[in-house]
Amino acid sequence: MAFTLTSIVEHLGGELLGGGGIVIRQVATLEKATPDTIAFLANERYLPQLKFTQAGAVIIGDNLRGALDRTCIVAANPYSYFARVSALLNPEPEPLAGQHPTAVIHADAKIGEGVQIGPGVVIEEYAVIGSHCCVGAGSYIGAGSVLGERVRLYPHVIVYKGCSIAKNSVVHSGAIIGADGFGIAMDDGRWIKVPQIGGVLIGEDVEIGANTTIDRGAIEDTVIEDGVKLDNQIQIAHNVRIGAHTAIAACVGIAGSSRVGRYCRIGGASGIAGHLSIADHVEISAHTLVTKSITEPGTYTGAYPFEANRDWRRNAASLRNLGELTERVRALEKALDMRKKGK
């Protein structure tokens, strides 16, 4: 794929400063760019790299309009514009309609037009595969599950029975949608399983990373709303609801029946305890453990910064005694207050 700068601006908007006839074949960093590539600059601390970049053009914000003497595209958000240019130059391949001879498809499954079904795929009864989907090699679609139009499953994705993935969503390899939630009850000294009879509902334009697992609901469905982006190796437990356009980084764990709002951002390796509610527009820093509901938008951080082990051990010992120290301070404050009143 190749586009002139004029054509890129016609497709994506922005303001072109300089020669529109330059042909762009790929995106690149400022450091590695060549004359047929385009780079972006969103942070002024990288301005020195502009002296040496060989990029055919650079995407900049309006704040740098007068700072550069070279061909540029001015955009309100240079990074998102760069992402859109990259998507323009690197489109996903269209599915090659057809079914591999090793695929096993139940006679009662419904397959739409233009669907690509790879080697070793299994599609169970009453499953529905929407038009122009791509089901990668070794994937499994359980009975009654539904894929909307243009859903792409990379190889070895498992979709259990009774789950739904809406149109234009992407699920990467190793992801498991609809496994049983961790529902157990103690009965006479032994654990008994609570049947997980809900499903998983995944909205439009959702992306699910490799080896991420989303459990089915115990009674009602687990829900991932439109536009959610999930990184690799995330665990979402039964009956969780993730609000639209929320982004969650790798290795996050969300316990059962929690609700995460819309437009949230959750940093890597964070944990959210069960039955909590997170408001819209909340940002949770990496490695934060959330143990109570968050009712107001904002940034929340609970990660304890690393330090030399000797210092960490001393501070950890102090933290263990923090409750006792707090009580002693309160007692001293009370005694001091009483002495002041006695005067």
Of residues 132, 156, 172, 238, which has the active-site annotation? Answer: 238
Which of 124, 128, 130, 129 shows the shortest CA–CA distance to 143?
Answer: 124
Superfamily of domain 98-300: Hexapeptide repeat proteins (2.160.10.10)
Q: Measure the CA–CA gap between 130 and 135, rounded to whole angstroms.
A: 11
Scan for tokens 């143990």, then name that residue.
Answer: 291
Which of 109, 81, 61, 80 shows the shortest CA–CA distance to 8?
Answer: 81
Mean pLDDT of the chain: 95
Determine if residue 132 is left, alpha or beta; phi over 0 gives left, psi from -120 to 50 gives alpha, anything else beta.
left
List the structure tokens of 86. Answer: 């990259």
Residue 343 scores a pLDDT above 70: no
pTM exceeds 0.85, yes or no:
yes
Provide the 3-class DSSP secondary structure of residue 46.
Answer: helix
| CB contact set of 343 (below 8 Å; sequence gap of 6+) | none
Indicate the CATH number for domain 3-89: 3.40.1390.10
Q: Is 100 a catalytic residue?
A: no
Which of 155, 153, 164, 158 shows the shortest CA–CA distance to 126?
Answer: 164
List the structure tokens of 338. Answer: 């009483």
Q: What mean pLDDT is predicted for residues 114-126?
A: 98
- Residues 95-106: tens digit of each pLDDT: 999 999 999 999
pLDDT tier, 15 (very low <50, low <70, confident <90, very high otherwise):
very high
Which of 267, 170, 160 shows the shortest CA–CA distance to 215?
Answer: 160
